[in-house]
Structure formats: structure tokens, C-alpha cells
């Protein structure tokens, strides 16, 4: 039961991650952006789309001034773009914690429900021995 639960968890998690990213992986554009630090030390990624300068927050990692990063954005809303990286774009700590918590709650609920089976249920679902017709 544990093996199948873990396999199902990872399949569902991968499908969720692959199809729930914003901006959408399938319909988005990739471009190169340059990191600039503000006076407060906050990192911003600047890139151009159709001769418009767009800035987005770059707070997932510690960047240095002038670093080059890849940004993913949708053409309709480039200001909602994100830095295209494994940790910032594909994996998020909140989603990882929430999905793990949901897995453990549902797994232990299913285990506690199926642990205390009644004897009537066991007898009902146990296959009976069939006698051969010509014995």
C-alpha cells in the first residue's frame, strides 16, 4: 500500500507541477534578463519586450549586479514573468510542503480506515473454495 501511494503521489505531483506553472510553460517565451540591485539591496531582473523595459523581482537566489538570467513570460503580460530556474519556477517550497502534508494525511487516513476490518467483511471478501464438479 505504501509503494503504490508513493508512486501515485509522485505522478500526481509531477502532473500538477508540469501543468500549473504561471507563466505557462507551453505558451510562454524565454529571454535573457540582467540583474540590477536597487539601493535597498533588492534584486530586479530587467529585460525588453517590444522595445519596452520590463522589471521583475529576483528574490529566489542571491544575485550579483550584472548577472544574466533566463526569464519566462507570456506575451500578453510580460510584467508577470518569472526567472526560469529549477527552484523558482518549477519547484516552490510552499507547494512541496503542502503536497507532502496532504500525502501523509490521506495515507494515514486510508491506513487507519483499512486497518480495523471486521470479521464479517473478511469472510465476505474471501474467495470460497470451489469444489470440482466431478470429484
* pTM for this model (two decimals): 0.70
Report residue 4's pLDDT band, with 50, 70 and 90 as the boundaries.
confident
Which CATH number among 3.30.420, 1.10.10, 2.40.50, 1.10.260 corresponds to the domain 2-115?
Answer: 2.40.50
Whole-angstrom distance, CA of residue 22 vs CA of residue 103: 24
pLDDT, tens digit, for every residue of 83-126? Answer: 998 887 898 889 899 999 999 998 888 888 877 767 777 777 77
Grade residue 60 by pLDDT with cuts at 50, 70 and 90.
low
9 pLDDT above the threshold of 60: yes
130: confidence class by pLDDT, cuts 50, 70, 90: low
> What pLDDT score was predicted for residue 35?
94
The residue extents of the domains of the chain are: 2-115
User: What does the CA dihedral 95, 96, 102, 107 come to, rounded to 10 degrees?
Assistant: 160
Residue 21 · residue 27 · CB < 8 Å? no
Contact 30, 71 (CB under 8 A): yes
* Residue 23: predicted pLDDT: 92
Amino acid at each position: 500500500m505504501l509503494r503504490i501511494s508513493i508512486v501515485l503521489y509522485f505522478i500526481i505531483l509531477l502532473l500538477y507541477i508540469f501543468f500549473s506553472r504561471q507563466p505557462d510553460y507551453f505558451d510562454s517565451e524565454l529571454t535573457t534578463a540582467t540583474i540590477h540591485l536597487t539601493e535597498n539591496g533588492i534584486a530586479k531582473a530587467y529585460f525588453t519586450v517590444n522595445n519596452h523595459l520590463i522589471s521583475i523581482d529576483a528574490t529566489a537566489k542571491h544575485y550579483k549586479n550584472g548577472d544574466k538570467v533566463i526569464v519566462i513570460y507570456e506575451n500578453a503580460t510580460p510584467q508577470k514573468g518569472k526567472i526560469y530556474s529549477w527552484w523558482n519556477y518549477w519547484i516552490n517550497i510552499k507547494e512541496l510542503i503542502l503536497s507532502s502534508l496532504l500525502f501523509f494525511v490521506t495515507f494515514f487516513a486510508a491506513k487507519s480506515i483499512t486497518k480495523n476490518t471486521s470479521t464479517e467483511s473478511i469472510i465476505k471478501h474471501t474467495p470460497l473454495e470451489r469444489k470440482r464438479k466431478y470429484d
